[in-house]
Amino acid sequence: MTQATPSPTQHWSETKKLMNNIEHFAEILVDGGVVAFPTETVYGLGANAKNDAAVARIFEIKARPRFDPLIVHVSSLDMVNQVAASIQPIQRKLMEAFWPGPLTIIFPKLSVISDLVTAGLPTVAVRMPNHPVALELIRTAGIPVAAPSANPFGRTSPTTAAHVAEYLGDKVDGILDGGPCAVGLESTILSLIDGKPTILRTGGLAIEDIQAVIGPVHIAPPNDDLPQAPGRLQRHYAPATPMVLDPKRAIKPDSTTGLLTFTGRPDEAAFKAVEVLSRSGDLKEAASRLFAAIRRLDAMGLSLIVAEPVPDEGLGRAINDRLQRACKRG
């Protein structure tokens, strides 16, 4: 067995693609450019949410189908008024409780927001990221920023600037390096449009935390037909290497197989490569390591990645959701 290691990346700082000049990146956004930037969840691929041409480039760069809507990022509660046509008292309660943070809320949209952002829907997904670089970038630009994850559509989400560089390279106008993402899972998406609190995507905010503020919520199943929010497709977040869930440890290890395990197992040495998400059983640590671990295994030339589910509670629900979608074959 060998420990999976990251693949080498180009030195983007030498070409000034990887930078820390927030004002420069804000100017790019205002001028209609597309930049990658850090959030606490994953790296985003951002453009002016009011600019059709800029938003169209996001879809082109990612090869993302236009029926899949984007999330709009804001830097303050007041900026939501540039995006949402109305705010319900329960939505404001959630904003005050969890923003900035990994919660996306669905609102009725203002017409100024590009229809490409919302895939023609009358609603818009909005969140306020809990990352100082992201907040300062949006504040400096002074515009709401539409941003999906900064990766090719359907692939594993990037949690470092180097991941973005490997994935997208010269396709973007710049990569703003803010270090590794602390949460490592995309945001939880919540809709209250029909009056029934519904989780459209599990994510970096545990359902239990939301229920502690607003009471019971419904969890919507994945949907490949005209999704109401990002990350709703049944196959998503997938590596190029075939990956299967093995909750009962029925698959025998061999020298061509990799293992993605929560806390470890006795037969690790029989696998070619192993990624342990958290030896101590910490779901937060596991979430923050998930996508980077999958990427490392994907770079090992394996015939198969065997993945084990984690406890289905708290952030474990979102981790298992990502594993299930990554393992589903298209």
Q: Please provide residue 318's backbone torsions phi and psi, each rounded to the nearest 5 degrees.
A: -70, -40
The residues, ordered by sequence, that sit 6+ positions from 73 with a Cβ below 8 Å of its Cβ are: 39, 44, 46, 126, 127, 128, 129, 134, 138, 144, 145, 146, 147
Which residue, among 65, 156, 255, 11, has the nearest Cα to 56 in the 3D structure?
65
Domain with CATH 3.90.870.10 in the chain: 2-219
In the chain, CATH 3.40.50.11030 covers 243-327
Superfamily for 243-327?
Threonylcarbamoyl-AMP synthase, C-terminal domain (3.40.50.11030)
* C-alpha span between 139 and 149 (Å, rounded): 20
pLDDT tens-digit map of 156-214:
999 999 999 999 999 999 999 999 999 999 999 999 988 889 999 999 999 999 999 99
Query: What pLDDT, in 10s, does the model give residues 281-298?
Result: 999 999 999 999 999 999
Whether 219 shows a pLDDT value over 60: the answer reads: yes
Nearest to 74, CA basis, from 27, 107, 33 = 107
Q: What are the backbone angles phi and psi of residue 299, rounded to the nearest 5°?
A: -90, 0
**Does an H or E element contain 46, and which?**
strand 44-48
- The domain 2-219 having CATH identifier 3.40.50.300: the answer here is no
Q: Which pLDDT belongs to residue 329?
A: 72
Task: Kindly report whether the peptide bond that precedes residue 239 is cis, defined as omega within 30 degrees of 0.
Answer: no
Label residue 323 by pLDDT band (50, 70, 90).
very high
The b-or-e profile of 18-54 (16+ CB within 10 A means b, else e) is bbeebeebbebbeeebbbbbbbbbbbbbbbbbbbeeb
At 234 the pLDDT is 62
106 pLDDT more than 80: yes
Q: Is 225 helix (H, G, I), strand (E, B) or coil?
A: coil
- Predicted confidence at residue 225, as pLDDT, reads 59
Q: What is the mean pLDDT of residues 58-62?
A: 97
pLDDT surpassing 80 at residue 235: no
Burial class (CB in 10 A: 0-12, 13-18, 19+), 322: buried
What band does 2 get if pLDDT is binned at 50, 70 and 90? very low
CA 199-202-205 angle, 5° bins = 100
How does strand 257-261 pair with strand 273-276?
parallel
Give CA separation, 210 vs 98, 143, 188, 218, in Å: 9, 28, 10, 11
